[in-house]
């Protein structure tokens, strides 16, 4: 089945496009998602993406030429086809604006790609990024599976995402880690007990403006950083005592204590346990901590799910297992996706203090330095103490300075008085 | 070249004539070859005249019950001949309507028997027509008898729907073999016209393809009004005489002899694939007798497509119509909406009507699907009470996790109309919640659909 490639509009305001450069030529094999050409609009240079597999033929627009939206600029022929199924004689299906709002059969879509906004990831987004055409059933399946519908190619009428586009995904993204211990009632009124895993709160106008302005001034994610020094004396004592008692049964590390304390602090500061989602902020009612693990050629963040509800022993065991899996490249996708907040620890490398880069769409990450012995002032006297520096990177679109500081203060209190974690 | 067209369609039934109209709308020159009346079985000896006769039957039964509603109509007299004549008029009007549509859309109608020839050609009489793009085979199906047990259709005592539709008088007694849609509808018609009807079904229940609860409801309804129903029955032998037929029927471990004035064969149909040049063109037949087609409905011979009954089940007019649209849009270079064969509604227009979409409950169990059945009886529906049509129910099978409508089954007045709310819902992947959230006018029969959806969610209101 031949597929027409149309000059399409990214927004209802685009009326014509100039082909800057063809990336594929007549006779080239193309795959769905390939960039066929760069097209200059009134606003930016966009990629024209193939919407079918086959061979590009009948390229009718030369580089530098400007054509109206809706015009057939080429045809993609399927295997065995020698000519188009009469694209020229077929009445042009739909004008540009219809295509831009997502209706109509589409031979190609335009994406923001190279050009003045090179930083935007070149995924196949629909023309209007805030509106995804999807059936109610598909929406439910996607929500359940944690799949972002914007990233799913719809095969229904006009690119509508339907059940079959999601089949297989639901199973693949079931949480890998099951809760082992029955839970007491939610301990904090701050995180909603039971019910949905999260609440989507639409962005207010001021929040939208803040988001836009900060992005343009600081880059895709407007980071800011908060550092605090934590007295680790009592945490160290508690850890040593626990490990002494446990003998050879697997040691509890500082990192395990930090993960647990972070999770509990997030329960009290839901504002930091959130995802930035373009037009809304998703405040999670569950706490899934991503732990940055260095692997041979990079970094991956396996996830400890519901870390707030797990014991130190469980966290320790899981963290070791996940790190081991990460190093041997045996992590399942379900084991490294879906974290709501991350922790990166370079303490073992004797780094005192550093800043970590936020793992989108999360709104924050902690950079943990080493626990060092240093002189501290206790009661007006110099004394040896054990201190650790924590730096929190915050996405300013979600977390404001005071919000992050309040979270960090709770975390500091918990680490300085580990008994507080029992409250 | 006067004999050259973009598309040539063999057969002017529902699949063929709709394909012809859509083809012409898309700007392709189109010829339709038909040896008989336009509209095919559906318009002339199927869907349309039976609906006319069923309405006559419905009026008769309404008049019989009229007294209860405060209307006295005196003794009700029925005359099958008059009802038949009216049904013929309705068919003729519809056939003429199709002819008009052909003219309006500039489709060339070629009268005669078409025979396919290699090279996308169709021979009609001594003329040969060339198709530039494709030949569409839409030759449909016909009734079949059971000659192996002595019941070959003789058109007097052993008849098919073809003859039943032209009877001047209703027979005094009639055995109907096959309790699918055709058998059920004729049982309803003839019973209303005073015939003693015996309905014989080989499978375990009447309407064997419908949900078991629908079969049960219809069995009760038919028995109550005096139609004899014999399921799980085997007709071992039929002996036609001049004005009667003797049947040997084995059911429930016993064999009984049945003497009836006539036998109506309503057990299945045969597709019209003989003597139209299929083999010569390389068009193959599959093991079930249908024309072998790929997902685009193209046959094993490139440029030859099959639509309607010859292309495979379900053998329903509306399925064929959609296939006609699909293939012609494909030929015109469009990307037609794919046909969801699991979302073709099935309707039996007996009283009460039976309509369904999707899976039956038994199939849900067989496929080990997690489901919840929501039900709502019309006896609890205000509108149905008002009209005294409280028989039947709406049943919706909801997938447990996401609320997908796995299947829906309606028995009751207007079931044939009510089913489409659920057909639209399924086509667009609405879940039971979208159905329920839409405000339904009160009082209507459609409220039963919303209530069944609610019941599947465990929060029915009106019961």
Residue A377's pLDDT is 86
More reliable by pLDDT, A317 or A196 = A317
Vertex A293, ends A287 and A299: CA angle to 5°? 110
What whole-number percentage of chain B has pLDDT above 70?
100
Residue A213's pLDDT is 55
Provide the ipTM.
0.78
Residue A214's pLDDT is 55
User: CA of A337, closest CA in chain B: separation in Å?
Assistant: 23
**A194 pLDDT band (50/70/90 cuts)?**
very low
Contact list, B7 vs chain A (CB under 8 Å): none
Does A396 participate in catalysis according to the annotation?
A: yes
Contact at CB, B431 and A136, closer than 8 angstroms: yes
Query: Is residue A275's pLDDT more than 70?
Result: yes
Query: Is residue A36's pLDDT more than 80?
Result: yes
Read off the pLDDT of residues B59-117 as tens digits, 9 standing for 90 and up: 999 999 999 999 998 899 999 999 999 999 999 999 999 999 999 999 999 999 999 99
Q: Which residues of B touch A (CB under 8 A)?
A: 27, 330-335, 337, 401-404, 428-431, 433-434
Contact list, B430 vs chain A (CB under 8 Å): 135-137
CA A395/CA A358 separation, integer angstroms:
7
Read off the pLDDT of residues B426-450 as tens digits, 9 standing for 90 and up: 999 999 999 999 999 999 999 999 9
CA B2/CA B52 separation, integer angstroms:
40
Contact list, B27 vs chain A (CB under 8 Å): 89, 91
Read off the pLDDT of residues B116-138 as tens digits, 9 standing for 90 and up: 999 999 999 999 999 999 999 99
DSSP 8-class letter at B17? H
Q: Which residues of A115-142 are buried (b: 16+ CB within 10 A; e: fewer)?
A: beeeeeeeebbbbeeeebbbbbbbbbbb
Residues 6 or more apart from B12 whose CB is under 8 A from it? B20, B32, B33, B34, B36, B37, B38, B39, B40, B98, B109, B138
CA B220/CA B228 separation, integer angstroms:
10
Q: DSSP string of A107-156?
A: SEEEEE-SSTTTTS------SSTT---B-HHHHHHHHHHT--GGGSPP-S
Residue A130's pLDDT is 55
Read off the pLDDT of residues B259-275 as tens digits, 9 standing for 90 and up: 999 999 998 899 999 99
**A152 pLDDT band (50/70/90 cuts)?**
confident
**A94 pLDDT band (50/70/90 cuts)?**
very low
Name which of B25, B302, B402 to mutate to probe chain A: the one with the most chain A Cβ atoms within 10 A of its Cβ.
B402
Residue B236's pLDDT is 93
Residue A209's pLDDT is 60
Query: Is residue A87's pLDDT more than 50?
Result: no
What does the mean pLDDT of chain A come to? 76
Residue A96's pLDDT is 35
The nearest alpha carbon in chain A to B406 belongs to: A137
User: CA of A141, closest CA in chain B: separation in Å?
Assistant: 7
Query: Is residue A177's pLDDT more than 60?
Result: no
Q: How many CB atoms lie within 10 A of CB B27?
A: 13
User: CA of B339, closest CA in chain A: separation in Å?
Assistant: 12
* Phi and psi at residue A350, to the nearest 5°: 60, 35
Contact at CB, A135 and B429, closer than 8 angstroms: yes
Residue A14's pLDDT is 67
Half-sphere exposure of A79 (CA within 13 A, CB side): 1
Half-sphere exposure of A35 (CA within 13 A, CB side): 17
With both helix axes pointing from N to C terminus, report the angle between B80-104 and B47-64 in degrees, rounded to the nearest 10: 140
Indicate the length of chain B as a whole number. Answer: 463
Indicate the length of chain A as a whole number. Answer: 423
Asked if residues A222 and A396 have their Cβ atoms less than 8 Å apart, the reply is yes
Contact at CB, A87 and B334, closer than 8 angstroms: no
What whole-number percentage of chain B has pLDDT above 90?
94
CA A9/CA A6 separation, integer angstroms:
9
Read off the pLDDT of residues A107-133 as tens digits, 9 standing for 90 and up: 333 333 333 333 333 333 334 445 788
Query: Is residue A270's pLDDT more than 70?
Result: yes
Tokens of B339: 């046909």
* Strand (E) or helix (H) holding A165: helix A163-166
**A41 pLDDT band (50/70/90 cuts)?**
low
Name which of A136, A152, A154, A169 to mutate to probe chain B: the one with the most chain B Cβ atoms within 10 A of its Cβ.
A136
Q: Reduced to 3 states, what is the DSSP secondary structure of residue B229?
A: strand
**B163 pLDDT band (50/70/90 cuts)?**
very high
What does the mean pLDDT of chain B come to? 96
Residue A85's pLDDT is 44
Read off the pLDDT of residues B356-391 as tens digits, 9 standing for 90 and up: 999 999 999 999 999 999 999 999 999 999 999 999
Query: Is residue A3's pLDDT more than 90?
Result: no
CA A45/CA A32 separation, integer angstroms:
20
Residues 130-149 of A with CB under 8 A from B: 135-138, 140-141, 144
CA A67/CA B138 separation, integer angstroms:
43
User: CA of B288, closest CA in chain A: separation in Å?
Assistant: 29
More reliable by pLDDT, A69 or B298 = B298
Q: Establish if A84 touches chain B: CB-CB under 8 angstroms.
A: yes
Lowest mean pLDDT among A81-95, A169-183, A225-239, B309-323: A169-183
Query: Is residue A229's pLDDT more than 60?
Result: yes
More reliable by pLDDT, B152 or A107 = B152
Tokens of B185: 């509808």
Contact list, A2 vs chain B (CB under 8 Å): 333
Asked if residues A236 and A251 have their Cβ atoms less than 8 Å apart, the reply is no
DSSP 8-class letter at B121? E
Residue A419's pLDDT is 83
* Strand (E) or helix (H) holding B306: strand B304-306
Lowest mean pLDDT among A2-11, A122-131, A391-400: A122-131
Asked if residues B280 and B274 have their Cβ atoms less than 8 Å apart, the reply is no
The nearest alpha carbon in chain A to B433 belongs to: A136
Query: Is residue B255's pLDDT more than 50?
Result: yes
Contact list, A144 vs chain B (CB under 8 Å): 401-402
* Phi and psi at residue B162, to the nearest 5°: -55, -40
């Amino acid at each position: 089945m031949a597929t027409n490639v149309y000059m399409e509009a990214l927004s209802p305001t685009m009326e014509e496009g100039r082909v800057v450069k063809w990336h594929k030529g007549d006779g080239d094999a193309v795959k769905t998602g390939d960039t066929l050409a760069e097209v200059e609009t009134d606003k930016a240079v966009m990629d024209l993406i193939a919407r079918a597999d086959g061979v590009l033929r009948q390229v009718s627009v030369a580089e530098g030429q400007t054509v109206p939206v809706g015009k057939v600029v080429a045809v993609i022929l399927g295997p065995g086809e020698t000519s188009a199924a009469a694209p020229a004689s077929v009445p042009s299906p739909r004008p540009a604006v219809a295509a831009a709002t997502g209706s109509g059969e589409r031979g190609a879509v335009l994406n923001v790609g190279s050009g003045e906004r090179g930083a935007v990831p070149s995924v196949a987004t629909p023309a209007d990024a805030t509106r995804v055409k999807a059936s109610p059933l598909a929406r439910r399946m996607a929500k359940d599976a944690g799949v972002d519908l914007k990233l799913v190619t719809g095969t229904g009428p006009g690119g509508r995402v339907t059940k079959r586009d999601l089949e297989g995904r639901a199973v693949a993204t079931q949480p890998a880690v099951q809760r082992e211990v029955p839970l007491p009632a939610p301990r904090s009124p701050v995180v909603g007990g039971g019910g949905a895993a999260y609440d989507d709160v639409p962005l207010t106008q001021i929040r939208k403006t803040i988001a836009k302005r900060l992005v343009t001034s600081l880059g895709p994610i407007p980071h800011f950083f908060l550092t605090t020094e934590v007295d680790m004396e009592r945490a160290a004592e508690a850890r040593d005592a626990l490990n002494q008692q446990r003998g050879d049964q697997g040691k509890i590390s500082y990192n395990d204590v930090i993960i647990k304390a972070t999770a509990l602090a997030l329960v009290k500061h839901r504002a930091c346990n959130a995802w930035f989602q373009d037009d809304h902020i998703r405040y999670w009612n569950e706490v899934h901590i991503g732990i940055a693990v260095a692997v041979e050629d990079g970094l991956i963040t396996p996830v400890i799910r519901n870390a707030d509800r797990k014991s130190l022993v469980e966290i320790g065991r899981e963290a070791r297992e996940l790190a081991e899996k990460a190093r041997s490249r045996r992590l399942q996708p379900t084991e490294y996706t879906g974290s709501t907040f991350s922790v990166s620890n370079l303490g073992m490398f004797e780094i005192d203090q550093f800043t970590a880069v936020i793992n989108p769409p999360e709104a924050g990450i902690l950079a943990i330095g080493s626990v060092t012995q240093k002189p501290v002032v206790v009661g007006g006297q110099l004394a040896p103490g054990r201190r650790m520096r924590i730096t929190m990177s915050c996405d300013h679109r979600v977390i404001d300075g005071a919000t992050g500081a309040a979270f960090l203060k709770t975390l500091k209190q918990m680490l300085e008085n580990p008994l507080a974690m029992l409250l | 070249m006067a004999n050259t067209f973009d598309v040539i369609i063999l057969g002017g039934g529902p699949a063929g004539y709709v394909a012809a109209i859509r083809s012409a709308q898309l700007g392709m020159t189109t010829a339709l070859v038909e040896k008989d009346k336009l509209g095919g079985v559906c318009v002339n000896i199927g869907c349309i005249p039976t609906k006319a006769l069923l309405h006559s039957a419905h009026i008769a039964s309404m008049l019989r019950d009229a007294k209860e509603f405060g209307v006295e109509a005196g003794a009700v007299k029925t005359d099958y001949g008059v009802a038949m004549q009216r049904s013929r008029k309705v068919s003729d009007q519809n056939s003429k309507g199709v002819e008009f549509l052909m003219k309006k859309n500039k489709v060339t109608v070629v009268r005669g028997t078409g025979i396919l020839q290699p090279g996308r050609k169709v021979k009609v009489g001594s003329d040969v027509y060339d198709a530039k793009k494709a030949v569409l085979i839409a030759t449909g199906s016909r009734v079949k008898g059971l000659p192996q047990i002595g019941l070959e259709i003789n058109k007097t005592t052993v008849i098919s729907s073809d003859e039943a539709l032209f009877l001047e008088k209703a027979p005094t007694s009639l055995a109907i073999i096959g309790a699918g849609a055709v058998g059920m509808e004729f049982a309803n018609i003839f019973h209303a016209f005073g015939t003693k009807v015996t309905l014989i079904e080989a499978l375990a229940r009447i309407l064997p393809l419908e949900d078991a609860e629908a079969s049960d409801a219809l069995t009760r309804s038919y028995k109550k009004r005096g139609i004899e129903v014999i399921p799980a029955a085997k007709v071992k032998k039929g002996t036609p005489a001049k004005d009667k037929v003797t049947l040997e029927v084995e059911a429930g471990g016993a064999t009984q002899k049945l003497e009836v004035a006539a036998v109506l064969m309503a057990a299945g149909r045969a597709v019209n694939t003989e003597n139209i040049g299929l083999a010569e063109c390389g068009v193959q037949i599959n093991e079930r007798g249908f024309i072998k087609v790929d997902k685009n409905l193209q046959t094993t011979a490139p440029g030859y497509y099959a639509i309607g009954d010859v292309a495979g089940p379900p053998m329903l007019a509306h399925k064929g119509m959609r296939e006609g649209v699909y293939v012609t849009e494909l030929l015109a270079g469009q990307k037609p909406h794919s046909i969801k064969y699991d979302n073709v509604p099935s309707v039996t227009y007996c009283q009460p009507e039976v309509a369904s979409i999707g899976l039956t409950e038994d199939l849900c169990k067989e496929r080990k699907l997690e489901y919840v059945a929501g039900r709502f009886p019309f006896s609890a529906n205000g509108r149905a009470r008002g009209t005294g049509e409280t028989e039947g129910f709406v049943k919706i099978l909801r997938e447990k996790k996401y609320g997908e409508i796995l299947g829906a089954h309606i028995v009751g007045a207007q079931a044939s109309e009510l089913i489409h709310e659920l057909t639209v819902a399924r086509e667009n992947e609405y879940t039971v919640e979208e159905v329920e959230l839409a405000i339904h006018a009160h009082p209507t029969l459609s409220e039963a659909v919303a209530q069944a959806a609610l019941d599947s969610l465990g929060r029915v209101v009106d019961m």
